[in-house]
Structure formats: C-alpha cells, structure tokens
Amino acid sequence: MHRDVERVLFSQEQIAQRVSELAAALSAEYQGRNPLCIGVLKGSVFFMADLLRQMDTMASMDFMILSSYGQGSVSQGKVKIVKDLDVEIVGRDVIIVEDIIDTGHTLAQLMKLLDTRHPASIKLVTLLDKPARREVSFVPDLCGFTVPDEFLVGYGLDYAERYRNLPYIGVLKRAIYE
C-alpha cells in the first residue's frame, strides 16, 4: 500500500469483480445496439477502459473534458466544457461513464446539455457515488459502489494529479491534504 494511503477501500480484485458485473448489466441492456460511451476525463480512464473491454456488445468511445471546480477546491456549481465530443449524438444511445458523483453538479449539467443534442437515450454509469455530498438531486442509472464522505484516491481518482495510477481505491491520509 502507498504510504500516503490510510486504508484500502476497494481492492483491485473487488473493483474488477464489480466492473464485470456492471459490464454484464450493460451488455444485456444494449445487446444488438452500438452505444456511444462518453468518458469524462480524466478520472474515468481506467474504469472506462476496463468496463468497455468486458462489454459483450458493440460500443463506441468518445471523451469530454469538463472543468467543474474553477480555481478553488470547492464546487462552484458551474461546469465548463474544455473538450467537447468529436461526434454528433443525435439518435445515438449514449452512456456517460464517470468515476465519481459528488455534489452532482457536473453530471446534472452534462446530462442537461447532452439532452439538447437529441440522443435516442442517455444513461449514466458511475463507479462510485458519494451521496452524502450531494447538492443537486441526481441518481445514477448504474453505480459500482456507494462510498462514505472521505478523500478517495486511486483507479483514476487524484489529489493534485497524484495517485491516479494506484490499482486500488484508497482513503488518503488527512496529513497529505490538510
């Protein structure tokens, strides 16, 4: 375990197991279709890569970069598109792939925006959901794990761009960020 991590919340094996369950659910739902999976960078990269490789159906990929927190560390409730999609989504089945939902601002605004582009359907799958921090009501269609209100790192999640490549999800020691 990394010395800055207080404890492992989900091991590599637990994540792999849950990701294959989510992939099985999506495979059943999208059988015979070709959904466009939209990864919200950067946190979703490992989840997206693992999830799509387990999906037993056609799936296309695109990515967006959003900036949700402005300059500070506290959500300002405003989402800016830094990188938009490369493709049109009109008439497409869209699956947004996220690493975590926290306040809900990012996803609520992204869903609203993508809806104006008239996809055939739009669903959200998130690996982690932290409902204790919610500021706008938002419920994911599929969720890997509900998590407590702690500072999580690994498997895509960062603190100051560090720890994203830890293969597990851990709780960061307070001394690192306080």
3-state class (DSSP) for residue 25: helix
Within 28-47, which residues bind ligand PRP (CB under 6 A)? Answer: 40-43
Q: Could you say which residues in the range 134-163 bind ligand PRP, by CB under 6 A?
A: 158
Q: Which of 102, 129, 141, 149 is the catalytic position?
A: 102
**Site size toward ligand PRP, by CB under 6 A:** 18
> Can you tell me whether residue 74 is helix, strand or coil?
coil
Residue 102 appears among annotated catalytic residues:
yes
Q: CB 133 → ligand PRP: shortest distance, Å?
A: 7
Based on the shown chain and the rule CB under 6 A, indicate whether residue 100 belongs to the binding site for ligand PRP: yes
Site for ligand PRP in 49-78 (CB under 6 A): 68-69, 75
- Nearer to ligand PRP by Cβ, of 33 and 80: the residue is 80
Among 52, 64, 99, 143, which residue interacts with ligand PRP (rule: CB under 6 A)? 99
d(CA 136, CA 75): 12
CB of 99 to ligand PRP, least distance (A): 5
CA distance 18 to 55: 13
Q: How far is the CB of 108 from ligand PRP (least distance, A)?
A: 8
98 binds ligand PRP (CB under 6 A): yes
- CB nearer to ligand PRP: give 43 or 170: 43
> Where does residue 161 fall: left (phi above 0), alpha (psi -120 to 50 degrees), or beta otherwise?
left
- Length in residues, the chain: 178
Q: How far is CA 110 from the centre of its chain?
A: 12
Burial of residue 147, with CB atoms counted within 10 A of its CB: 0-12 exposed, 13-18 middle, 19 or more buried: buried
Q: Which two tokens stand for residue 123?
A: 């669903």
Cβ-Cβ contacts under 8 Å for 133 (sequence gap 6 or more): 102, 103, 149
CB 110 to ligand PRP: min, Å: 8
Q: Comparing C-alpha atoms, which of 169, 121, 157 is closest to residue 15?
A: 169
Q: Where does this chain bind ligand PRP (CB under 6 A)?
A: 40-43, 68-69, 75, 98-107, 158
What are the residue numbers of the active site?
Answer: 102
